[in-house]
Structure 1
Amino acid sequence: MPEHNGQHPVATAPLAHSWPQMLTEEEISFVYMAIVGHPSPSREQLLESGIDAHLVDQASRMLHARGLLVIAADGTWEVPAPDIALPAWAADTERRARAWRATASELHQVYSAARQAKALNSENRDIGTLADIASATATITAGATKEILCIRAASRRTEQLLLDPYNSHREIFRNAAGHPINVQAIYDPAILDTSGTLEALRERIIGGEEVRLTGPIHFSAIIVDEMAAVIEFSNIDPSGSGALLVRSRPFVTALVRIMRTLWALAVPLSSEAAAPLPSTAASRDAIILKLLAGGATDSTITRRLGISQRTVERRVRHLMDSLGAETRFQAGVEAARQGLV
């Protein structure tokens, strides 16, 4: 609930309206706080405390509809325990929000047809900003039923996703029916150079996302049920310009094939790789090899392990020589082939 400044609004005569005035969440929350803070709340008690009658009447009806206040036939009030009523209302709101998001594509088709535009299923649409990218992504993922595939470059949008403090990375992604969605994501290991991203990936793994690393990756894409995708290039243009919402089946199929190819080449970021720092040289070398196979730079490995870059360079050279590898990536792949990681 939003906070209020604690001062009661001065009681005034209700304004004349030809239609009911819509209340803000802050106003509803203010009335709710006044109700739960009184042992025997009533309409009369709130009016006596100086709260406007129109605000009391409108807010109490809203709270009643949400199950946060019971208004009996005789007008008396009963307040359900907030620790039960609030989570129940929040869960119902989330369920209805998922259902609305799931119908967004179908409603847009009706919208387009009514305006003699192409049906959305047959068009690709330009997206111009990071905010539009986020909105388009939310639209198509809300309609997911089985699978979401992600290709994530080291871009501004990927940083936004991983570092947003309001993102609940541990939350399992579910479809409109409440069933878990299979989420697979490939990240460019260069993203690990940004502080906080590894911790976010750790949380996403806990939430059920399968995470792999490979690179370099030159664009980002979110593909839903092999039916729709959002492609963006904020690694090239940080404004988000040039992004596309794609529903062309051949285009989406091509993206799925790219994803499957990259997935086969990528290295899993397992729970061990995302766990606290290793305590032995062997476990440290295993993480180095795993990150090498994913294309990680020395600075990325340094940040992950909390050791000096010179130490990383020395260990990488030793591991390459031990495996007979000529390149860093080859060392990681050879280690995987031998079952060392």
Structure 2
Amino acid sequence: MQRLETADDGQFEDYLTGCYLTMLRLGTPTREGLLHAGLDHQDIDQATAILASRHLISPLGDGTWEIVPPETALPRLAGALEARARSTRATAGELGAMWRQSMTDPAEATLMGVEMLRSIDQVVHAAHALVASAEVRIRQFMDDSPASLRLIRDDPLVLGRPQIPLSAITLVVDVALFVHDDVLATLEAAAGAGVRIAVADGLPFSGLIVDDKTALVDLSRHDARADGSFVVRRLPAVAALAAMCDIAFELSTPMGPTLAIRSGEAEGAPLEERDRRVLSLLASGATDQQISRSLGVSTRTVERRVAYLMQGLAAATRFQAGVQAARRGWI
């Protein structure tokens, strides 16, 4: 058996597990029994001390140990590890803030509860750290900023995998993002997985609000270096950004209803499936080329169907046709 002193982190835990299983098989483990099983004297001292600190065994003082019933010991150990993991996630944002602050000019004036971000990388890293710390709810709104595009492309379900249900995520995206070919498919996959997504037109900047405690403001669309972006932990500012996100969501066109109709969970207008799909993509702000690729038809066919649907809805613009169809419950 490999010695503990030469083991890396993964091998170290494997050794402890092997030692614990050996002690379980022995029933009432003794030093003699562990030596006979191939363990080294020094490794026995170290391994049993760690197992005792985890409350898996209890020393009896005469070279023997008592096994704490696994039905009691293991759930208790798992609970302690889970609590430590939650604490680690919760402090990640604060530690990241400390690190980023250390990288700024010490002569620069700072405002209590506000952490300035100086690059797109810092915006992206701060956003991921905040999402990882979420325990209740995430609100996010995205304009066509470099940081927003990075975050959407980082993960098919948008912004990594937080420790909360996807249904607790509210996302408002600006229609301008759909000029990027991969964005629409990514967001549709996220909406299908349960993220609440709505499409807006003309968002002035991007923001992220986590648990009504912390918010991030992304200004990278207005400055190539994202200079001026910041994380804020002052509750009035966080509440104001959360309220703005809620209003933007209510005034925007949801992506969800179309998915419900396509899956048979809701009733729509007496339209062909293809026309409902065209209207859905119009409401999302997709171009004719994006719609044609999604439907597998020619761009000319899409142009004809769009003109026909706009006329039927008396819509002056393509986006307006999609919005009106959504309001009528057609998609």
For normalisation by structure 2, the TM-score amounts to 0.66
Change (3 A) 1:139 1:53: farther
Question: Matches of 1:130 and 1:323 in 2, distance apart?
Answer: 44
Q: 97-106 or 322-331, which moves further after superposition?
A: 97-106
Identify the match of residue 24 of structure 1 among 1, 4, 9.
9
Cα deviations by residue, 1:98-157 (Å, 9 ceiling, x for unpaired): 3465577899999x9xx9x96743x3422545366434653487376x643211345112
Tell me if 1:126 matches 2:126.
Answer: no
Bigger Cα displacement from structure 2, 244-253 vs 233-242 = 233-242
Say whether residues 1:156 and 2:142 are aligned partners: no
Question: 2:331 aligned with 1:335, yes or no?
Answer: no
- The answer to whether the 8 A contact 1:211-1:270 is kept is yes
Q: Percent identity?
A: 29
Q: Which structure carries more helix by proportion? A: 2
| Structure 2: gaps spanning 5 or more residues | 265-269
Q: Which runs of 5+ in 1 are unaligned?
A: 1-7, 16-21, 174-180
The alignment yields a C-alpha RMSD, in angstroms, of 4.9
**Structure-to-structure mapping, 1:20-59, within 5 angstroms:** 24-33=9-18, 35-36=20-21, 40=25, 47=35, 53-59=41-47
Correspondences of 1:1-341 after superposition (within 5 Å): 8-9=1-2, 11=3, 24-33=9-18, 35-36=20-21, 40=25, 47=35, 53-66=41-54, 69-71=56-58, 73=60, 74-77=64-67, 80=70, 85=74, 89-99=77-87, 101-102=89-90, 120-121=112-113, 123-128=114-119, 130=121, 133-135=124-126, 138-139=129-130, 142=133, 147-153=137-143, 154-162=148-156, 167-168=160-161, 171-172=164-165, 182-188=168-174, 190=178, 193-194=182-183, 196-203=186-193, 205=194, 209-215=195-201, 217=203, 219-224=205-210, 226-232=212-218, 243-247=229-233, 251-252=237-238, 255-270=241-256, 272-273=258-259, 282-302=272-292, 304-305=294-295, 307-341=297-331
TM-score by length of 1: 0.64
Deviation at 1:186, TM superposition (A): 1.2
Contact kept? 1:157, 1:234, Cα under 8 Å: no
Bigger radius of gyration among the two: 2
Deviation at residue 292 of structure 1 after TM alignment: 1.7
Q: Distance in 2 between matches of 1:60 and 1:308?
A: 70
C-alpha distance 227-125 of structure 1, shift in aligned 2 (>3 A):
same
Query: Partners of 2:57 and 2:327 in 1: how far apart?
Result: 65
Q: Cα offset for 1:289?
A: 1.8
Structure 2 CA distance for partners of 1:196 and 1:276, relative to 1, 3 Å: farther
